[in-house]
Amino acid sequence: MTSLTQSNRNTRPIGVFDSGLGGLTVLTELRRQLPKENFVYLGDTARTPYGSKGPKTIARYADECIKFLQTKNVKLIVAACNTVSALGDATLNRDKTVPVIGTIESALKEVAKLPDCKKIAVIGTEATIGSKAYEVAFNRAMPDLQVDSLACPLFVPMVEQGILEGRVFEVVADHYLERLRLIRVDALVLACTHYPLLKSALESYLGSEVVIVEPSKSVAELVTKSLEETGLIGAPSGDPTMEYFVTDEVSRFDYLARLFLQNEEVQALRIEDLA
């Protein structure tokens, strides 16, 4: 009986949420590194983007996303949205029923892996950069590291329109990042889950001497650690399941999701309202 109960507990899905599509870059990495786990994804597409909104509004939306995923019996939640993660662990884990993992600690882990990294820049939405959450976390964990941060608010709508390179990208990148080319950083942290789709364009723009850091890579490590600590790591049983929920109409999500999931087709379900 005990082992069956344990197995049932372990096969509960991992919940992943974002304001919209960006979290799919984190989901892809989680599925790659945790192939036996079941997942439930929530994209709050009816209220996207979060990155241009105020902290109280973002906190309310995050609470509602977390509550929705709890109704899906998840064993752990990933806030696959840097704007939400910038609210801080204390806010995200206020209700202690299910652990919520954000993206800040994974950004620290990824940067810590880099040899000879003295100067970095963090790019993200207005809300993420305005919160200074990444700067504070880096300053605390790596006091000798020099950290610059820059908001790039047009990058999200560009990615959502499939503008991933070319002249528009170049000029907008110049608008936000020209200074970075001058001050010469060792690494650029992509503190927005949309930005991995701009990775190769950013590499060309900044040159190969700048390492592009994707925090999503380490999220799966943190999730694995948390599941191991609580004895909830996925039990090997059947094919893993994958469910997608969105708050706006599904057609645009299903279409754009392919851009984020290397052409995998998805069929999302619409939920009318999270509030």
Report the interface residues with a second copy, using CB under 8 A: 45-48, 52-57, 153-154, 157-158, 160-161, 163, 167-168, 171-172, 174-175, 247-249, 251-252, 273, 275
Return d(Cα 227, Cα 205) in angstroms, integer. 39
Catalytic residue among 65, 81, 117, 152: 81
Residues 199 and 227: their CA atoms lie apart, in Å, by 30
Output 9 or 181, the one with its CB closest to a second copy.
181
**Closest CB 268 distance from a second copy, rounded Å:** 12
Q: Which is nearer to a second copy, 30 or 156 (CB)?
A: 156
Give the angle subtended at the CA of 141 by the CAs of 59 and 116, to the nearest 5°.
125
Q: Kindly tell me which of 35 and 54 has the beta carbon lying closer to a second copy.
A: 54
**Single-letter code of the amino acid located at 246:** V
Burial readout 96-133 (b: 16 or more C-beta within 10 A, e: otherwise): eebbbbbbbbbbbbbbeeeeebeebbbbbbebbbbbeb
Q: How far is the CB of 45 from a second copy (least distance, A)?
A: 7
Min dist. Cβ of residue 88 to a second copy (A): 18
Q: For residues 70 and 98, give the distance between their C-alpha atoms in angstroms, rounded to a whole number.
A: 8
Between CA 47 and CA 107 the distance in angstroms is 26
Q: Are 100 and 222 in contact (CB under 8 A)?
A: no
117 is catalytic: no
Closest contact distance (angstroms) between CB of 44 and a second copy is 10
Active site residue 65: no
Looking at the Cβ atoms of 157 and 236, the one nearer to a second copy is 157
Active site residues: 81, 192
